[in-house]
Amino acid sequence: MALVAHRGGEAEGALSSTPLRRGASSAYRRETTHRENAFDEIPRQIMATVLTGQIDVAAPPGQVYECWTDVASFPDVLEMVQSVRVVDEVRSFWQVRIGRSVQDFYADIVDAVPGRRVGWQSTDGILHSGHVEIEEQGDSTHVTLRAVWDQQDPFAGIGLPVAIDQDIAQRDLQRFKRMVEARARSDISR
């Protein structure tokens, strides 16, 4: 399935970005409901990007889930991710490049149903959250991604938003698909 980048509304098989000015903390809070009042200190003028994408992967749901929860492999798959260090079953330490800066944060898995879905959110540093829904569809697995990223570049000086290249997300989903399908073929040949 080809992904088509566009701004605005949702479309099946498409990637979209919705910049949020006022109320981004509300959108982020909807994505991160496990900590009440955790984001009350977030400035109202924060700029965030909501990335959504869908792709079909020729592998069983359990294998897709296993690959998505293998966060240590993300630097090979996700272009913005510089490194990930797994701390424990729930927490990992990330370094990502956004704009001109490399930023660090801890992320926790906040929702996990093996073979069905996984959700995560940052606990410090930049605001980031997301979830992946995994659904079996015949011989393939349909993957739906939704991720929220804070776009503030601390080195921009005046708080100008840093655009997250929409093509990065498209390339990331394609690389993820190739990785999962390669692992599935490898498992079959064993």
- Where do the domains of the chain lie, and which CATH numbers do they carry? 4-189 (3.30.530.20)
125, with CB counted inside 10 A (0-12, 13-18, 19+), is middle
* % helix, strand, coil for the chain, step of 5: 25, 40, 35
Give the model confidence (pLDDT) of 3-25 as tens digits: 222 223 333 333 333 333 334 44
Question: Bridge partners of 17?
Answer: 7, 51
Give the predicted TM-score (pTM) of the model: 0.70
pLDDT averaged over 10-residue windows placed end to end, the chain, 190 residues: 30 37 44 47 60 91 95 93 96 90 94 97 92 95 89 51 68 93 80
User: Do the Cβ atoms of 44 and 77 come closer than 8 Å?
Assistant: no
